[in-house]
Amino acid sequence: MAVQVGRRALFQAVRVQATGRESARSLSCSRQYVRFGKVSPSSRLNGHGARHYSSDPKEDLHVRHLDGEDAGIVVVGINRPKAKNSISKNLVKMMCEAVEDIKNNNKVRSVIICSLVPGIFCAGADLKERAKMHQSEVGPFVSKARALITELGNLPVPTIAAIDGAALGGGLEMALACDIRITSNTAKMGLVETKLAIIPGAGGTQRLPRVISVSLAKELIFAARVVDGTEACRLGLANHSVEQNKSGDAAYLRALELAREINPQGPIAIRMAKLAINQGIEVDLSTGLAIEEACYAQVIPTKDRLEGLSAFKEKRRPHFKGE
């Protein structure tokens, strides 16, 4: 009976996911992020391997939608060089609006989160800004940052964190909310909050044990241990570890390769696969199979499924439209 009730509820949920009409969750964000037009497939955000420096808060986040054969790939670049990409009030506002915009855009097929600053992915919370906050402000700010990272994790499309430098504290928590993590071998990763007599507050205590093992997660968090990209890959914290290149964007380039592998697949199928995995992993197998059934039901009536069958029969590449 419980499975049947869960199945009915999930059918309703996946209909919303499949059509992309999910109502926007309430995140207090203003439209401040910098949005760019189209970009050539081989470049990052400011040219291949190039970075852009600015003290203008409006430059803290760059969002680009790739074009051509890469259409559907969105690259989100953090750009706070003077603050080591630390998470500030302004960055949270800009990121949550970018996430909301991506969530409501059915043309998006995958998202890459990266850094425009050499040697750093995200150093965690902006402690200089935090020190100026009144104690009463800290809790609400952490709650807003947690909500942002949760929304990042709830994006219906695949998300890839390209970690070309240090991802510490909240920076690693942001990466943990992504579906896939790719790191350079020289990158440093760790939940180091216990050094400050606090604990990870944006999902780290929950996501890290789900990504690696409970005992390993406890060890890393208790000891505030930092590991390099090679060790992160060995632990299962990263999917791939690549040797860093001279321009310092090896992880980004590998992430782009992976996004290009995902791009040609059926977009509705990818969304349903992500939903089935994310929801199913949290429940027992019987309920998980019901979730898979509900998600599968959403792809049966699509034009993309018929296009896939026709392409297979005609021995050609399918052209999926997300319909």
The H helix count followed by the E strand count for the chain is 12, 11
Q: Which residues pair with 73 in a beta bridge?
A: 110
The single residue of 97, 100, 151, 193 carrying the catalytic annotation is 193
Catalytic site residue from 173, 202, 203, 292: 173
Tell me which residue of 115, 103, 282, 96 sits closest to 182, measured CA to CA.
Answer: 115
Q: Which residues touch 140 (CB under 8 Å, ≥6 apart)?
A: none
Exactly one of 98, 125, 162, 238 is catalytic; which is it?
A: 125
User: Active-site residue 129, yes or no?
Assistant: no
Length of the chain: 323
* Cα separations in angstroms, 113 against 101, 218, 264: 15, 26, 20
Six-digit token string for 12: 């309703």
Known active-site residue 193: yes
Distance, in Å, from the CA atom of 323 to the CA atom of 321, rounded to the nearest integer, reads 5
Among candidate residues 77, 170, 229, 280, the one labeled active-site is: 170
Residues classed as catalytic = 125, 170, 173, 193
